[in-house]
Amino acid sequence: MFQSDSVFVGIDPTSAQKSFTFAALDKDLNLLTLTEGEIQDVVAFLLGQSSAVVAVNSPSGINRGIVRQRIQREMPATHQIRGADMRLAEYQLRNSGIAVTGTPASIALCPAWMQLGFEVFRALENLGFRQYPATFSAFQVMETHPHACFCVLGGGLPLSKPSLEGRLQRQLILYDRGIGIRDPMEFFEEITRYKLAKGVWPIELLYLPEQLDALAAAFTAYQAIRQPEKVFTVGDAGEGIIVVPDSELKEMY
């Protein structure tokens, strides 16, 4: 159940370490926090909230074989199955041209960032968070995907995430949605002939890729509650639902 003081949190556990980036927005999209921490840090933050909705940039569970079963029904039994090691949600995003990593069927085969994501979901479940949509719950959690978020928000495939232009693009997309972050256009206002000649770029005005991903997740959590008609879901409830912040997926990105 939405409350006026709800916070909307995005968690990005794609670090090679045990830490991850998380962002929090209020009901007016003001930025409350954008920092790096470990699970206990997020838990401490959430324990201080009366209502919170969290979106995590990670699978919530392993591949349960739904895609493989579908392919087996559609192909001859003797046909070798390739590319089926993914969840239904990932399969559906890929069909729209959105490149996402497939989730293995075994935790041991999952990369470290996925396993960290599983830990995040377990920790939130232990705190009493319920899977979105849970109409009468003040604490909800959902799965999202940052690349898919930027695809649907921007209407096409974004530029390379680590690149200067990719960071500018993503920051502008989020800023134009009303999120209380720095205006990326200030980056250009700070560039002068002298600074260019000296190789001095105002990089401090841009957010890091993992920060932008956490912000996209937080915005997805916000949309899911405040404007649920503007989110779209893919996947299967028994395997994992991915929420993206737009009302539909284009046929191809």
- The distance in angstroms from the start CA to the end CA of the chain is 34
Res. 78: pLDDT tops 50: no
Selection from 86, 207, 215 nearest residue 153 by Cα: 215
Average pLDDT, integer, range 158-185: 97
Tokens of 53: 């909705």
pLDDT of residue 68: 86
Domains of the chain are 7-62+101-244 (3.30.420)
Res. 234: pLDDT tops 90: yes
Q: What's the angle, vertex CA 24, arms to CA 20 and CA 26, rounded to 5?
A: 175
pLDDT of residue 195: 85
Average pLDDT, integer, range 1-19: 80
Backbone φ, ψ for residue 216 (5° rounding): -65, -40
> Is residue 219 a contact partner of residue 177, using CB atoms and an 8 Å limit?
yes
pLDDT of residue 193: 87
Q: Compute the mean pLDDT over every residue in the chain, rounded to the nearest whole number.
A: 92
How many CB atoms neighbour CB 139 within 10 A? Answer: 19
Average pLDDT, integer, range 9-31: 90
Res. 75: pLDDT tops 70: no
Angle between helices 88-95 and 66-74 (to 10 degrees): 60
| CA distance to 35, 162, 188, 217, per residue, from 127 (Å) | 21, 34, 44, 20
The larger pLDDT score, comparing residue 5 to residue 123, is at: 123
Taken as a whole, the chain contains a residue count of: 253
Q: How far apart are CA 122 and CA 129, in angstroms?
A: 9
| Least confident segment among 30-39, 68-77, 178-187 | 68-77
Q: DSSP state, 216? A: H
